[in-house]
């Protein structure tokens, strides 16, 4: 298996994980679960940015939007 295929597989796995966590967090029933999921998402986004799977600013933008979503749901 070539290096590019290995990297593509890893990148797809990381992106799918982020997408799944995002959807799970948005459909969570209470605030405690959302905050817990938000922390996991922050970690995954930071790791993805560090590995170069997504851009640093993309990770930052997604984190800001997710935080705004959680804050809006609490009010």
The CATH number assigned to the domain holding 25 equals: 1.20.58.110
Number of folded domains in the chain? 1
The encoded tokens of residue 57 equal 């600013």
Torsion of CA 72, 64, 24, 55, to 10 degrees: 160
Domain span at 9: 3-74
Tens of each residue's pLDDT in the chain, 75 residues: 689 999 999 999 999 999 999 999 999 888 888 999 999 999 999 999 999 999 999 999 999 999 999 999 887
Non-local CB neighbours of 53 within 8 Å, separated by 6+ positions: 10, 11, 14, 15
Alpha-carbon gap, residue 36 to 10, rounded angstroms: 24
């Amino acid at each position: 298996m070539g290096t590019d295929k290995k990297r593509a597989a890893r990148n797809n796995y990381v992106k799918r994980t982020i997408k799944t966590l995002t959807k799970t967090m948005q459909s969570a029933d209470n605030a405690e679960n959302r905050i817990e999921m938000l922390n996991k998402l922050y970690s995954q986004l930071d790791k993805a940015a560090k590995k170069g799977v997504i851009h640093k600013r993309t990770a930052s933008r997604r984190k800001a939007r997710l935080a705004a979503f959680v804050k809006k749901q609490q009010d």
